[in-house]
Amino acid sequence: MGSFSIWHWLVVLLIIFLPLYLLFRKPRRKASPDSAAHVGSLSNVEKLEKLAKLKADGAITEAEYDAEKRRILG
């Protein structure tokens, strides 16, 4: 039996580190456009500010932002 080649080491590292990466990575949370609007005690201005932050963070799309904004403003 010869020594391990680079490909063997890559497979070994993949087997060791991929499960660790998947275990400890920061989970992505997809916020729904309704999450900012369904908070009962917020004013419309506060709802729109939260909605704008979700859009700026990339949690919602432009279309989702526009639809929710129209719903909030009536």
pTM of the shown model: 0.44
* Angle of CA points 53, 62, 58, to nearest 5°: 45
Tell the residue number behind the tokens 């309704």, with chain if given. Answer: 34
Task: Please tell me the predicted confidence (pLDDT) of residue 33.
Answer: 56
Yes or no: say if 72 and 44 are a contact pair by the CB < 8 Å rule. Answer: yes
Encode pLDDT of 51-60 as tens digits: 999 999 999 9
